[in-house]
Amino acid sequence: MSRHSLGAYRIVLMMRSERTLLVEGETDKMVLQRLMLEVDGGAARPNIDTPSLLRDSRLSGLGNKAQVEVVAAEVGQSDGFLVLVDREWEQFRQDQLQLEDLDALLQPAGGIVKTYGHSIENYFFDAEGFKIFLSRQFAPHLTAGTLRLVQERFEDMCRLALAYSLAARELQVITRIEELLGRRDLTVSAERIELAPGFEARLISRGVTAEVAAQFTEAVARYGQAVHDAQVTATTLKWASHGHLGSHVLWTCIAKVLEMLGIEQSACEQVERGMRPEKLRHGADVLASGDAEQRPLNWLVRWLYRLDDIGVTDEAGTVAAQATG
């Protein structure tokens, strides 16, 4: 695959007859391509690009989000080009554990559109979707009671996912702790799902100092208590957690619950950290076929196919954004 400088990429965009959406990574691209199958766009073949297509000194050393933002600034407003980036924690008041008006962010600004959740994985934070996956992949190991317990404890799992995410943000260890949490690191009581004692050693094994490791576990407990006391809504729990970290926490919590119910270890291990492509494809399927929040992804699909040049509308039908082109 040939890679383009920013100047060459601008020329490529000018030569294309179909619209282009630039996204941060392959996960975003796959989810959008799955949503596109739900729309009859005729013979059109819109383009979804990622930074892997680009090579330019101005992008060197930048993360994917920063790269696509640089591209958006370089290309400028265009009839046939938009960029999708993760919202991350914009519009989240960490001191109050509240999300502010997310709908205000749906309006394209400078050719950039932002995800409704922290990132695209947040669209999959739904108990029913997890239960469907378990039913399809692990039916011989489960009972209806198993799935019912997953449903009952799902909000507890989401509380830990948010607390874990916010602690990682506060201590700036997000990249250090990716895929670190395991079911042995969790304790489950009637009231809460929490980190087990000794998790500091796991952090230290990733190069985190003993001081920061202790601060992290304290922060998870502190945020967990705050989330519980504030009765943070299910909506905030879904959209405010870090997408990657939160997703791993949820799968790990589910694996822990299954382990406590006596499900064999090989199945628990697969639930905890296996079958990643299958989990992603399943999440995209559930999102595409269900009634869950899809904005602005669904609108971007229609924009790509030139089916809708009006942006997202709210539930009352009020226009909230005007697309370019």
pLDDT computed for residue 81 by the predictor: 95
Counting Cβ atoms within 10 Å, is residue 209 exposed (0-12), middle (13-18) or buried (19+)?
A: exposed
pLDDT digits (tens, 9 = 90+) for 219-240: 999 999 999 999 999 999 999 9
Helix axes 127-138, 265-273, angle to 10 degrees: 140
pTM of the entire structure?
Answer: 0.92
Share of the chain above pLDDT 90, in %: 84
pLDDT digits (tens, 9 = 90+) for 159-174: 999 999 999 999 999 9
Share of the chain above pLDDT 70, in %: 95
- Of 62-76, 113-127, 247-261, the range with the lowest mean pLDDT is 62-76
pLDDT-derived band of residue 310, with 50, 70 and 90 as boundaries? very low
Q: Is 194 left (phi over 0), alpha (psi -120 to 50) or beta?
A: beta
Residue 320 has pLDDT above 80, yes or no: no
pLDDT average, residue stretch 11-32 = 96
Which uninterrupted H or E stretch holds 254?
Answer: helix 243-260
Angle at 297 between CA 17 and CA 231, to 5 degrees: 165
Bigger pLDDT: 126 or 313?
Answer: 126
Backbone angles phi, psi at 125, to 5 degrees: -75, 75
- Of 49-53, 122-126, 307-311, the range with the lowest mean pLDDT is 307-311
Mean pLDDT across the chain:
92
pLDDT computed for residue 319 by the predictor: 37
pLDDT computed for residue 90 by the predictor: 94
Residue 316 has pLDDT above 60, yes or no: no
Residue 29 has pLDDT above 70, yes or no: yes
The answer to whether 300 and 31 have CB atoms below 8 angstroms apart is no
pLDDT average, residue stretch 121-139 = 97
The answer to whether 249 and 273 have CB atoms below 8 angstroms apart is no
Residue 77 has pLDDT above 90, yes or no: no
pLDDT-derived band of residue 1, with 50, 70 and 90 as boundaries? low
**Residue 63 in 3-state DSSP?**
coil
pLDDT digits (tens, 9 = 90+) for 254-275: 999 999 999 999 999 999 999 9
Smallest Cα–Cα separation from 322: which of 306, 309, 305? 309
pLDDT computed for residue 317 by the predictor: 40
Bigger pLDDT: 223 or 290?
Answer: 223
C-alpha 235, offset from chain centre: 14
Bigger pLDDT: 158 or 55?
Answer: 158
Counting Cβ atoms within 10 Å, is residue 88 exposed (0-12), middle (13-18) or buried (19+)?
A: middle
Q: Is 43 left (phi over 0), alpha (psi -120 to 50) or beta?
A: alpha
303 vs 33: CA distance, rounded Å: 13
